[in-house]
Structure 1
Amino acid sequence: MTYRISPTRRLALAAGFASVAALAIAAPAMAQDAYPSKPITMIVPFAAGGSSDVIARLVGDEMGRVLGQRIVMENMGGAGGATALTRAARAEPDGYTIVIGNSGTNAASYTIYPDLKYTQADFAPIGLVAKTSPMIALKLDFPAKTLLEFVDYAKKNPGKVSLGHAGVGSSNYLICRNFIKAAGVDVALVSYRGAGPALTDAMGGQIDGVCDAATSLSGAVQGAKVKALAVATPQRLENLPEVPTSREAGLPAFEAQGWNALFAPKGTPEPIIMKLNQALRTALASENLRGRFKELSSVMPAADELTPAYVGGMVPGEIEKYRLLLQDK
């Protein structure tokens, strides 16, 4: 028996199929419009207390208010941040897992750890968060009182001075490497799972000092728990006016600037990236965050540095810069 479909029925079926197809296409877009519908995890590649952690919490709180969802911090130390970046690279690219990276985790790590489980291409940039000011600080009873006295002491005692950092490959480690190269000294570098534990040991006298950013050192310096020898920036810091620049302290070759940026796993939809970027922009424009950054000597990015494209273009240059710094390690 042969069944015939009337022209009217045929048109109705075609319209039904078209509606289903349209809904299938629209579903992802509707999901992106509803984003975020639950809390977002921000992975911090170090233990609590360091520069990346402090900046992540401040920015995360403000972004959460903008997005209407909490941003939950997940601290994950190890391998100078590489452990956390591996986790971030493998996360579902749905906008619910992002990571705060820096010059160590997203640039120098490719030279330091040739067997990394991730590549630059595994991350979608969201935007630059902050620029940071590198410092060298010592325990209070260390005999050197100035940067040049410290360099002189280290040269007379090769391998005996200990400086802590947040792990090989971290931005703090790069501060140490920059200082060692500029000063021409031989010091022992002590690796920790984050800047916080390193600073604690410096304050307690277990190590001689730390390489860190003013963001996490400001409180300890102002509280006279460690002594800062110099900041590696062209100008003195407003909240630490007594700390000389490296140039003023007699070591102009020790100049550098760190940075933090937000990244998502590759494949995260562009509308979600842009919604996160807009939330970051709004957060950084808030008076509350501007005031806190000023207190911590963190520098707000310029307007043209806030785009995903800027970070995407910056990272390859940073990778090459640190490859050159570390190749004679």
Structure 2
Amino acid sequence: MPRFTPIAALLALTLAAALPARAEEAYPARPITMIVPFAAGGTSDVIARIVAEAMARSLGQRIIHENVGGAGGTVALARAARAAPDGYTIFIGNSGTNAAAYAIYPDIRYTPESFAPIGLIAKTNSMIALRADHPATTLAALVAEAKAKPGTIRLGHAGVGSQNYLICRAFMEAAGVDVTLVSYRGAGPALNDLMGGHVDGVCDAATSVGQAINAGRIRGLAVASPSRVPGLEGVPTAAEAGLPAFQMQNWNALFAPAGTPPAVIGRLNRAIAEALESPELKARYAELMASAPGMDERAPEAVTPLVANDIVRFRRLMGPRP
């Protein structure tokens, strides 16, 4: 039998000590799945694809895009909460899926503690858009019509609990109107129905409706931001349109299942940082009328209070029921 010499023992200890470091360095060793909680074509989907492509270059692995729609994104998040916390399943979330959902779905199968934030990746601008031939050509005219004919105006959104649904609710509260909200499995299908004339308008982000507005296929009424959106300078702010109380900033962040190793979260966050600084992503964000978060907003620790504050805000906005 071979003798276990002191030199051999020292070599074995050295190799054992190196294993954890090598294991960390190896991540990611295979493709990563990014779950998108909505149908293809909406704001979250478009941003997820752009960021995933840039992150993949940094990580040296493919990021597989998987759309899982249903129940305002909560179906996807319930699935993500059950995934192995190994860094190979991540998802894109927003104020709907990660905050408002708790005020809307009493039997929701996850909690804020079910997820580990990776980092904020985008900010977008909320807006109301109508079909091109709608008689209301201003936000004031739409509000007047909604007050004169309660429940007759139909506004589409990406599903109860989605960020777009929250835009609708914020508009209704600010304007004091009663409109009919039409739920879809994502912003893409809602926009298609708007252009097809099946609904009067949509609550959405400039990211997903801006091109259709500039092409004249739909009409932008107002953005719920303090200033006009670059690329949509012809669309007034809600304050300019006579409804200053209609204000809502949208955000998107990446999350992983709770228990994902800090080293893995750190590697993914560095990939986000590199992606957000890439010229290609900056150009795409400009085209989509989206903006990257500031340097102080990108850390995982910055996402936790953002989610907590939005949970309080939307519980107050909607009460126990949608």
TM-score strictly above 0.5 = yes
1:36 paired with 2:42, answer: no
For 2:11 and 2:292, locate their aligned partners in 1 and report how far apart those are by CA, in whole Å: 49
Letter in 2 for 1:249: A
Q: Decide which of 83, 107, 117 is 1:115's aligned counterpart.
A: 107
Kindly report the root-mean-square deviation, in angstroms, between the aligned alpha carbons of the 2 structures: 1.9
Letter in 1 for 2:304: G
Tell me the residue number matched to 1:216. 208
Q: Unaligned stretches of 5+ in structure 1?
A: 1-8
CA positional deviation for 1:318: 1.1
5 Å-filtered alignment, 1:2-21, equals 19=12
Tell me the residue number matched to 2:260. 268
1:248 paired with 2:210, answer: no
Letter in 1 for 2:243: L
Between stretches 185-194 and 287-296, larger displacement belongs to: 287-296
For 2:190 and 2:19, locate their aligned partners in 1 and report how far apart those are by CA, in whole Å: 48
1:313 paired with 2:305, answer: yes
CA positional deviation for 1:20: 7.0
For 1:239 and 1:39, locate their aligned partners in 2 and report how far apart those are by CA, in whole Å: 35
CA positional deviation for 1:16: 5.1
1:82 paired with 2:80, answer: no
Paired residue total: 319
For 1:49 and 1:305, locate their aligned partners in 2 and report how far apart those are by CA, in whole Å: 26
Tell me the residue number matched to 2:229. 237
For 2:114 and 2:82, locate their aligned partners in 1 and report how far apart those are by CA, in whole Å: 9
CA positional deviation for 1:300: 1.1
Per-residue CA deviation, residues 128-167 of structure 1 (Å, 9 max, x unaligned), is 0111100100011111000000000111111111000010
Tell me the residue number matched to 1:284. 276
Tell me the residue number matched to 1:6. none
Q: If the length of structure 1 is used for normalisation, what is the TM-score?
A: 0.93
For 2:170 and 2:120, locate their aligned partners in 1 and report how far apart those are by CA, in whole Å: 22
Per-residue CA deviation, residues 272-315 of structure 1 (Å, 9 max, x unaligned), is 10000000000000111111111111121010000000002221
Which secondary structure does the structure 1 equivalent of 2:91 belong to? Answer: strand
Which secondary structure does the structure 2 equivalent of 1:133 belong to? Answer: strand
1:100 paired with 2:92, answer: yes
Letter in 1 for 2:104: I
For 2:14 and 2:318, locate their aligned partners in 1 and report how far apart those are by CA, in whole Å: 54
Which secondary structure does the structure 2 equivalent of 1:73 belong to? Answer: strand
For 2:11 and 2:280, locate their aligned partners in 1 and report how far apart those are by CA, in whole Å: 50
Tell me the residue number matched to 1:67. 59
5 Å-filtered alignment, 1:143-182, equals 143-182=135-174
For 1:309 and 1:327, locate their aligned partners in 2 and report how far apart those are by CA, in whole Å: 28
CA positional deviation for 1:210: 0.3
Per-residue CA deviation, residues 87-141 of structure 1 (Å, 9 max, x unaligned), is 1111111111100000000000011112111110010000001111001000111
